[in-house]
Amino acid sequence: MYDKKLWWTGSKGEGYVVVQFILFALVAFGPKRVGTMPGWSAPWSTIGVVVGLLLGLLGGLLALAGVMSLGTNLTAVPHPKESATLVQTGAYRFVRHPIYSGIILAALGWAFLVNGTLTFLYVLILFLFFDVKSRREEQWLRQKYPAYEAYQKRVKKLIPSLY
């Protein structure tokens, strides 16, 4: 299913990046709740703010650690650079896609912070999107790096120790 080239994705996965930014906008600016549904009442609203700030900070740090670990290998598209090397250190010791994981975690933190019932749904959609995008990216990584398959068996994809 994922080895077919989809017309909208582009040769290096450019379409995934476009969809990704649309989903970021939905998480950040989309409707937070259904209709006139009220926000959470105390003490849940306070707990939501604290949990949201912690998850947002943790997600931001994980994404930043992923960027720093990649160094010059970093690219906006999921297709690896020709000059790239396989990174299995830093944040990549814990999860194969720490930037995606960090973004998902930060988005989850945002959902708690704004106590947005619909925002939690957007975060789920973002998670599913990054799962699909990472599958395509990993096809390219397996083609480029013979050691990637062993790395996949050793390190989870998006959630450390779980998935």
Local structure of residue 75 (DSSP, 8 states):
-
Q: Compute the distance between CA of residue 95 and CA of residue 101 in angstroms, rounded to an integer.
A: 8
pTM for the model:
0.90
Question: What is residue 7's predicted lDDT score, i.e. its pLDDT?
Answer: 53
- Local structure of 43: helix, strand or coil: coil
Average per-residue pLDDT for the chain: 92
Band the pLDDT of 3: cuts 50, 70, 90: very low
Which tens digit of pLDDT belongs to each residue from 91-130? Answer: 999 999 999 999 999 999 999 999 999 999 999 999 999 9
Which tens digit of pLDDT belongs to each residue from 18-54? Answer: 999 999 999 999 999 888 888 888 899 999 999 999 9
Domain ranges across the chain: 41-154
Question: What is residue 23's predicted lDDT score, i.e. its pLDDT?
Answer: 97
